[in-house]
């Protein structure tokens, strides 16, 4: 069985263990979500919207409590954690506000008939497999549009997020979502695979690693199920010659340290003109050296622990291997000599295509900075990885920056910002970063039956 625990990454101690689903429970979960679907889909769109609005209100009212919970579970600094809870609430609020309109019937040109009408209908029970790095936000991205559409949900959260998973279920049920329309399960990977294979389950959404995504996609494809995958990223960030280099360096260094660098769309690879490389590196190093690493419940702390000792050690090993292979380490990269999963933020340069760090995702507080001689070289470097989640371009000539951004092979291209996520904007990538989209009207369209009803005269 999967081990669902609250293991505080600040102390390294396991504070609570949770009872996992037994094999007999799998059938019960499937029976319940299937039985709940007809009633939930029959609930009026306006009533579903009212419930989601109450969910949003609960996230806002409980933001401090929710923030403290995940700071303890996975180490997010408190201000960031509270902000994530508020962001999740805004997603439920967006779908409560815009969902009814998105689900309205659409009249088409009749094209020779009395009527050609497109209807949007739910498809049935769905499985969501969620990661630990944004416990509330990533659940909201999946759950809000699909509950609004009338689907029922089986939600498997990460093993280290059992407590926050339980609170999310509590909030949904107290707001009016029927108990069996949203089922939080502490299930093993094999049990989730069994659920995905069941004919009553109609789709699966996963946010996580490439390995997990490949396994879920294979299982879903084998059983002809729709899947949406949001996987890893090694996002490029291109700084143009006309950028305010000092300001950009400080802004993106701070962004890279957010959530201890544990974000799929964090600016992991920073690409700068060679003529200003040393200046940029010095500014990033200054920010990294000045970061306060410590207990995420301390409001003065800007970088908390990584999610676990194992995660911390994995990132430290990636940095050490890069140095062994010839990269230059300017600061950090070592585990701190204290309890918990703390790592000194690191800056690397001199990474070349023959090094592991060139192609792999480093999921921690590590910036890899490259120098280039031209914009063409910058774009080639930016696109020369298997990932394609997001990327950004920074410069004062907005037209030129937009032209460069349009050359990035990513699902989300930004100019003078990086990683912005808002409820009405699509989120998703290309290549090995996955497929499908979440948020906005696009997130509402993934797990629905876009059904044509055409009527001709008798």
C-alpha–C-alpha distance, residues 277 and 432, integer Å: 29
SS3 at position 382: helix
Q: How far apart, in whole angstroms, are the C-alpha atoms of residue 67 and residue 433? A: 28
Computed on alpha carbons and rounded to an integer, the radius of gyration of the chain in Å comes to 23
Alpha-carbon distance of 410 to 45, in angstroms, equals 34
Alpha helices (H) in 203-348, listed in sequence order: 210-222, 245-257, 277-290, 309-324
Could you confirm whether 115 is annotated as catalytic?
no
Say how far residue 157 (Cα) sits from the centre of its chain. 13
Candidate list 159, 230, 361, 446, residue with the active-site label:
230
Spatial separation of the C-alpha atoms in residues 304 and 262, rounded to whole Å: 11
Cα–Cα distance for residue pair 74/213, rounded to 1 Å: 22
Q: Report the residue count for the chain.
A: 458
Determine the Cα–Cα distance for residues 427 and 87; give it in Å rounded to an integer: 14
Q: How far apart are CA 369 and CA 349, in angstroms?
A: 5
Distance between CA atoms of 309 and 75, rounded to whole angstroms? 11
Residue 450 φ then ψ, to 5°: -85, 95
Question: Is position 230 annotated as part of the catalytic site?
Answer: yes
Which residue in the list 73, 159, 161, 264 is annotated as catalytic? Answer: 264
- Report how far residue 335's alpha carbon sits from residue 419's, in angstroms, rounded to the nearest whole number: 27
The catalytic residue positions are 230, 264
């Amino acid at each position: 069985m999967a081990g669902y625990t609250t293991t505080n990454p600040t102390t390294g101690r396991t504070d609570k263990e949770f009872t996992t689903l037994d094999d007999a429970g799998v059938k019960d979960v499937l029976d319940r979500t299937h039985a709940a679907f007809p009633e939930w889909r029959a609930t009026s769109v306006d009533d579903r919207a009212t419930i989601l609005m109450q969910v949003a209100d609960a996230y806002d009212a409980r933001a401090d409590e929710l923030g403290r919970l995940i700071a303890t579970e996975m180490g997010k600094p408190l201000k960031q954690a509270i902000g994530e809870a508020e962001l999740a609430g805004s997603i439920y609020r967006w779908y409560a506000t815009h969902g009814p309109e998105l689900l309205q019937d659409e009249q088409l040109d009749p094209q020779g008939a009395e009527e050609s009408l497109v209807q949007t209908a739910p498809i049935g029970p769905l499985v969501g497999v969620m990661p630990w790095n944004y416990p509330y936000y990533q659940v909201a991205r999946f759950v809000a549009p699909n509950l609004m559409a009338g689907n029922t949900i089986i939600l498997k959260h990460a093993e280290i997020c059992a407590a926050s998973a339980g609170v999310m279920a509590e909030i949904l049920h107290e707001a009016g979502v029927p108990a069996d329309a949203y089922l939080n399960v502490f299930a093993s990977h094999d049990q989730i695979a069994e659920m995905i294979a069941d004919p009553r389950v109609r789709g699966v959404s996963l946010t996580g690693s490439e390995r997990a995504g490949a396994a879920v996609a294979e299982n879903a494809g084998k059983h002809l199920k729709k899947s949406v995958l949001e996987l890893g990223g090694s996002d490029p960030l291109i700084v143009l010659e006309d950028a305010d280099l000092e300001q950009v360096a400080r802004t993106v260094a701070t962004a890279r340290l957010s959530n201890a660098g544990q974000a799929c769309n964090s600016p992991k690879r920073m690409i700068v003109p060679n003529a200003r490389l040393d200046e940029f590196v010095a500014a990033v190093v200054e920010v990294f050296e000045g970061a306060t690493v410590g207990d995420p419940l301390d409001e003065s702390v800007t970088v908390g622990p990584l999610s676990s000792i194992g995660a911390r050690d994995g990132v430290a090993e990636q940095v050490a291997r890069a140095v062994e292979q010839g990269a230059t380490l300017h600061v950090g990269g070592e585990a701190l000599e204290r309890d918990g999963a703390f790592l000194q933020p690191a800056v690397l340069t001199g990474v070349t295509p023959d090094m592991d760090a060139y192609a792999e995702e480093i999921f921690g507080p590590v910036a890899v900075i490259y120098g280039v001689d031209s914009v063409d070289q910058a774009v080639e470097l930016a696109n020369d990885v298997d990932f394609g989640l997001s990327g950004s371009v920074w410069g004062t000539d907005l037209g030129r920056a937009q032209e460069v951004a349009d050359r990035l092979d990513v699902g989300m291209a930004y100019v003078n910002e990086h990683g912005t996520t808002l409820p009405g904007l699509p989120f998703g990538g290309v290549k090995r970063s996955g497929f499908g989209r979440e948020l906005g009207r696009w997130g509402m369209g993934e797990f629905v039956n876009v059904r044509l009803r055409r009527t001709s005269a008798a």
